[in-house]
Structure 1
Amino acid sequence: MNQPMDPVTAKWFAIVFPACFVAFWLLIVTMLGFISGWFTLQRRYPRGPGGPIRTFRMKSGSMGRFGLGRVSMNGILNLAPTHNGLRVGVFRLFGPFQRPFEVPWNEIQVERRTRFLVPGARLTFGIDEGNLTLAVGLWNRIVDSAPERERPRLSVEPVAAQALAAALLGAWIAISALVGTFIAVTSRAGTHPSPVPLAICYGVPAFVVGIGMFGFWMRTR
Structure 2
Amino acid sequence: MNDDYLPLLLVLIPLGPIALWLIVTTAISIVSGWFRLQRTYPPMPAQVRTSLPRQSAEMGFGVAFSRALTLTAGPDGIGISVSRLLGPFLRPVTIPWHAITAERRHMFMAQGVRLTFGRPEVGTLTIHARSWDQLAPFSPAPRMARDLPPITARLAIAGLVKAWLLLTGTAATAFYAIPRLFTDSGPPLVFCIMMPGMGFAMLMALRYLRQPR
Q: 1:181 aligns with which of 172, 183, 188?
A: 172
Letter in 2 for 1:108: I
Q: 1:112 aligns with which of 104, 107, 130?
A: 104
Query: Cα distance 1:201–1:91, how it changes in 2: closer, same or farther (>3 A)?
Result: farther
Q: For residue 209 of structure 2, what is the aligned residue in structure 1?
A: none
Q: 3-state SS of the aligned residue for 1:150? A: coil
CA RMSD in angstroms comes to: 3.9
In structure 2, distance between residues paired with 1:36 and 1:101: 13
In structure 1, distance between residues paired with 2:37 and 2:54: 20
Q: 3-state SS of the aligned residue for 1:93? A: coil
Shift of 1:73: 0.5
What is the 5 A alignment of 1:6-155? 12-64=8-60, 69-116=61-108, 118-126=110-118, 127-144=120-137, 146-147=138-139, 149-155=140-146
Aligned residues: 191
Shift of 1:11: 5.5
TM-score scaled by length of structure 2: 0.72
Query: Is the CA contact (8 Å cut-off) linking 2:106 and 2:159 kept in structure 1?
Result: no
Query: Cα distance 1:9–1:52, how it changes in 2: closer, same or farther (>3 A)?
Result: same
Q: 2:184 aligns with which of 188, 194, 217?
A: 194
Shift of 1:8: 7.1
Query: Is the CA contact (8 Å cut-off) linking 1:117 and 1:171 kept in structure 2?
Result: no
Letter in 1 for 2:29: G
Q: 3-state SS of the aligned residue for 2:85? A: helix
Query: Is the CA contact (8 Å cut-off) linking 1:47 and 1:87 kept in structure 2?
Result: no
Query: Cα distance 1:117–1:167, how it changes in 2: closer, same or farther (>3 A)?
Result: farther
Shift of 1:101: 0.9
In structure 1, distance between residues paired with 2:141 and 2:39: 24
Letter in 2 for 1:27: I
Q: 3-state SS of the aligned residue for 2:11? A: helix
Query: Is the CA contact (8 Å cut-off) linking 1:112 and 1:122 kept in structure 2?
Result: yes
Shift of 1:185: 5.8
Letter in 1 for 2:114: R
Query: Cα distance 1:188–1:50, how it changes in 2: closer, same or farther (>3 A)?
Result: closer
Shift of 1:118: 3.3
Q: 3-state SS of the aligned residue for 2:141? A: helix
In structure 2, distance between residues paired with 1:46 and 1:195: 60
Q: 3-state SS of the aligned residue for 1:94? A: coil
TM-score scaled by length of structure 1: 0.70
Letter in 1 for 2:86: F
Instruction: In structure 1, list runs of 5 or more residues that go unmatched.
Output: 214-221
Q: 3-state SS of the aligned residue for 1:76? A: strand
